Amino acid sequence: MHTRPIPATGEPLPVIGLGTWQGFDVAGSADETARLAGVLDALAAAGGTVIDSSPMYGRAEGMVGKLRADPSGRASAFLATKVWTRGRDAGIAQMRESLRRFGVAGVDLMQVHNLVDTAVHWPVLQEWKAQGRVRYLGLSHYTLTAYAELEAQLRRFRPDFVQVDYSVDARVSGERLLPLAADLGIAVIANRPLGEGALVRSLRDRPLPGVAAELGCGSWAQLLLKFVLAHPAVTCTIPGTADPAHMAANAAAGAGPMADAGQRARIVAAFEEAVR
Q: What is the pLDDT of residues 102-133, one digit of tens each?
A: 999 999 999 999 999 999 999 999 999 999 99
Average pLDDT, the chain: 95
Give one DSSP letter per residue of 13-59, joined into a string: EESB-EE-TTTT-S---HHHHHHHHHHHHHHHHTT--EEE--GGGTT
Phi-psi region of 109 (alpha: psi -120 to 50; beta: other; left: phi over 0): beta
pLDDT value at residue 74: 59
Encode 91-121: b = buried (16+ Cβ within 10 Å), e = exposed. Answer: bbebbeebbebbebeebbbbbbbbbbbbebb
Please report whether residue 270 resides in a domain: no
Q: Give the span between the Cα atoms of 190 and 228, in whole angstroms.
A: 8
Please report whether residue 89 resides in a domain: yes
Give one DSSP letter per residue of 211-255, joined into a string: HHHHTT-SSHHHHHHHHHHTSTT--EE--B-S-HHHHHHHHHTTS
pLDDT value at residue 186: 98
Mean pLDDT of 187-200: 93
Please tell me which residue, 252 or 198, carries the higher pLDDT value.
Answer: 252
- Please check the confidence at residue 91 and state whether its pLDDT lies above 90: yes
Q: How many CB atoms lie within 10 A of CB 85?
A: 20
Please report whether residue 237 resides in a domain: yes
Mean pLDDT of 180-191: 98
Mean pLDDT of 232-246: 97
What digits encode the pLDDT tens for the residues 245-264? Answer: 999 999 999 999 999 999 99
Mean pLDDT of 226-230: 98
Mean pLDDT of 152-160: 98
Q: Are 61 and 55 in contact (CB under 8 A)?
A: yes
The CATH number of residue 127's host domain is 3.20.20.100
Residues in contact with 274: Cβ distance below 8 Å, sequence separation at least 6, in sequence order = 202, 203, 206, 209
Q: Are 44 and 251 in contact (CB under 8 A)?
A: no
Residues in contact with 263: Cβ distance below 8 Å, sequence separation at least 6, in sequence order = 211, 214, 215, 230
Using DSSP, state whether 206 is helix, strand or coil: coil
For residue 176, give the amino acid letter. R
Q: Are 35 and 247 in contact (CB under 8 A)?
A: no
Mean pLDDT of 207-219: 97
pLDDT value at residue 71: 59
pTM, entire model: 0.96
What digits encode the pLDDT tens for the residues 44-76? Answer: 999 999 999 999 999 999 999 999 887 565 557
Structural domains in the chain (count)? 1
Q: How far apart are the first and last CA of the chain?
A: 33
Mean pLDDT of 220-238: 97
Please report whether residue 226 resides in a domain: no
pLDDT value at residue 75: 59
> 69 is in which domain, residue-wise?
13-197+232-255
Please report whether residue 202 resides in a domain: no
pLDDT value at residue 118: 98
Q: How many CB atoms lie within 10 A of CB 266?
A: 18
Tell me which DSSP letter residue 167 carries: B
pLDDT value at residue 183: 98
Please report whether residue 241 resides in a domain: yes
Please report whether residue 246 resides in a domain: yes
Please report whether residue 8 resides in a domain: no
pLDDT value at residue 69: 83
Q: Give the span between the Cα atoms of 138 and 186, in whole angstroms.
A: 9
